[in-house]
Structure 1
């Protein structure tokens, strides 16, 4: 297989990203955060409620939630992606999650009334979380989540290696998902893992010895994700001590599209912003991340654990759709609520209960936002397919 030179990667990766987004309307929604915020910027006045200034995910869709293990091995469903995290309006996460669930329902050929019920349950789950002070363990999990959690608990390093790098031998096989590094990239990665900060990150997990020897066994450019294709992304295989192995994910941090609140105090460095948001919203992951400079770019780094999974759902039944919407909104609500005091939580909860019609339990701003976004994204998806799946000339 012929691999692209580092300076030729971006064009190939963007083409692959466009092809992935053409696979389904839900894939398009997941991969096109920019379109969501284009719509958001077009709103006039106070079309959405103005929530408290807290860290939000900024890209709160179905695929960005899932089981995560903390440094002690405890597993909990939390937000798992923070490229877009900023201090902003929590209503933006609610609308983005509602759009994602509506797109999943459409992909499952569910009738439109199910979307209405999903948004009602989504709001109910979120409001319930605001009353718990962010104690996320108390909500009953849907059967689909229980299955994902059981799979996460049972997963081993061997399964992680087979899934991520195909082989459990001490190397990363090059191919479709892993490309070779340039000489400068290899040197930079070697130097990175000689730092005290990286040693501390690696030895924090699994009660490894603080003075354990860390050896870079292999590294490769990682062709992964959808919205992140085109950025710097690396997989690094390490040996820790004599027998332990671990897989490190290095990802470039870029400017967030999500709108921050004016005067909000956040790290100016994008990698530090990502880590700061993760530690507020998903402590299980945030405590396992650090920000570094790599080849003049800000990157955030974490060890991948076997228990870290995304929620992958191909088809939803009517009952599953409403239960999942309620539970996932509860998870997001807990992440938000942990950052608020009681008075702020009560005020925000009361605000969310306003603007409801006699026939719809969800507030009008949420329903109208999701309807408008679904229409906008449907048109955008068809145009995207015409351009990238058929070709710009339609042939």
Structure 2
């Protein structure tokens, strides 16, 4: 497949999903075809989208999307891949979270005329939460940037509304009308956030903290707070506190300590992280290979490093994660003009920088064995809400708060990103009349969820028949 030039002048492949090695001669790659479909649909040509497929044709489309999206993991027999397929078969909400590529191929080229922002790309209730900012202070915001890409602001709202409907059903047990109202609260929160910034609030320093968050988020802050020494001892360290403890999901690889010290030094220089304070001497104590994390990311290689804290007794160490990056599921599908966030892990790091004011200083990108890895700090107070604890009112309050948090992320697309016009008034005008826009988002989300239920049932049948245990090359 022909490459394109990224912002640094380096050649970058354009295959879909995480199979960045696919080429026109390799069966399964349909990235270019979908990119052309998106362009033609956005220009007004009457090209059918996958939503027009039914029956066996739709079933084969869903199967092909999932296989293509996981081609690298299947070919490499990566640990966690079959576990992910099993999880997708067992839970509809997890299926939604783990199949973003198929979701967005159904939307290829939509909303081309709407204002563009830096999209989060995978909005759902589990991708908001508490995390550390640059000062190691807990904040609440969007927290997963793996799919960031420029595109119409409405794409995040539509996927987010579908995510809230599904989560409120699967985790909350809410009835259909209640789920619809939850989705509307998410859109209403977004509009309230946009109005807040259009009225003069500064998105460069306005973020949910313990002192200004709505009550439901304040409760999450209280639940998330944990002593660092206890967190390290309980979740990461061995008995001596000098390294990682082995487990079914973690394999210490201490022999690679010097190698990862080099990656840390490179990251620190690029991000301006100086030794001293809570960073100590920026010395890597230990390295571990980590398995079985996340939902969409299951099967992608991860490492954790342990950085010795200033006390040098293991009670204040820092854990930094290195995770293999892939192309965004939106790549080639979302209309964005000539806006580009860059390649792979650099794209993810840029997304975090734009979306969160004064964010995690360890967010960045490094190359390991020729592959692109994103980096971020793991913290004792990195947490998201327990959805099973929410009642109907709690779901509405939480959806509204997440809508406001998403508005903050989008509002920074002009000040910190590549948008060259005032984004807040443009979006507010585009959404007018707001009550109709809210209704449209909820209707889209309900239709998308109903379609996904049918897709999930077809996936479960394919999974039981072994469609996802064979090598990818057998499917074209």
| TM-score bucket of the superposed structures, by smaller chain | 0.7 to 0.9
Please state if 1:104 is matched with 2:104: no
Contact 1:275 1:289 in 2 (8 A): yes
User: 1:263 offset after TM fit, Å?
Assistant: 3.5
RMSD (Å) for aligned C-alpha atoms: 3.1
Please state if 1:152 is matched with 2:224: yes
Equivalent in the alignment of 2:191: 127
Contact 1:139 1:327 in 2 (8 A): no
User: 1:177 offset after TM fit, Å?
Assistant: 0.9
Equivalent in the alignment of 1:234: 303
Higher relative contact order structure (alpha carbons within 8 Å, sequence separation ≥ 6): 1
Contact 1:157 1:305 in 2 (8 A): no
Alignment partner for residue 318 of structure 2, among 227, 238, 246? 246
Aligned pairs for 1:239-388 (under 5 A) are: 239-241=308-310, 242-243=312-313, 244-258=316-330, 259-340=333-414, 343-354=422-433, 356=435, 362-364=438-440, 366-388=441-463
Work out the CA distance in 1 between the residues paired with 2:334 and 2:274: 32
Distance verdict in 2 for CA 1:166–1:19, change over 3 Å: farther
Work out the CA distance in 2 between the residues paired with 1:187 and 1:73: 26
Work out the CA distance in 2 between the residues paired with 1:139 and 1:240: 30
Contact 2:252 2:286 in 1 (8 A): no
Alignment partner for residue 268 of structure 2, among 198, 202, 207? 198
2:388 partner SS: coil
Distance verdict in 2 for CA 1:250–1:11, change over 3 Å: closer
Work out the CA distance in 1 between the residues paired with 2:126 and 2:231: 20
User: What do residues 86-138 of structure 1 show as CA deviations (whole Å, max 9, x unaligned)?
Assistant: 11111111111111110012112211111221222222110111122233449
Work out the CA distance in 1 between the residues paired with 2:414 and 2:272: 32
Please state if 1:15 is matched with 2:15: no
Give the TM-score, by structure 1 length.
Answer: 0.84
Contact 2:273 2:361 in 1 (8 A): no
Give the TM-score, by structure 2 length.
Answer: 0.70
Work out the CA distance in 2 between the residues paired with 1:9 and 1:175: 22
Distance verdict in 2 for CA 1:25–1:206, change over 3 Å: farther
Alignment partner for residue 81 of structure 1, among 121, 132, 144? 144
Contact 1:62 1:101 in 2 (8 A): yes
Aligned pairs for 1:203-218 (under 5 A) are: 207-208=277-278, 212=281, 214-218=283-287
Count matched residues. 375
User: 1:230 offset after TM fit, Å?
Assistant: 2.1
Alignment partner for residue 28 of structure 1, among 85, 90, 95? 95
Contact 1:179 1:223 in 2 (8 A): no
User: 1:13 offset after TM fit, Å?
Assistant: 1.8
Work out the CA distance in 2 between the residues paired with 1:380 and 1:206: 52
User: 1:315 offset after TM fit, Å?
Assistant: 4.9
1:314 partner SS: helix
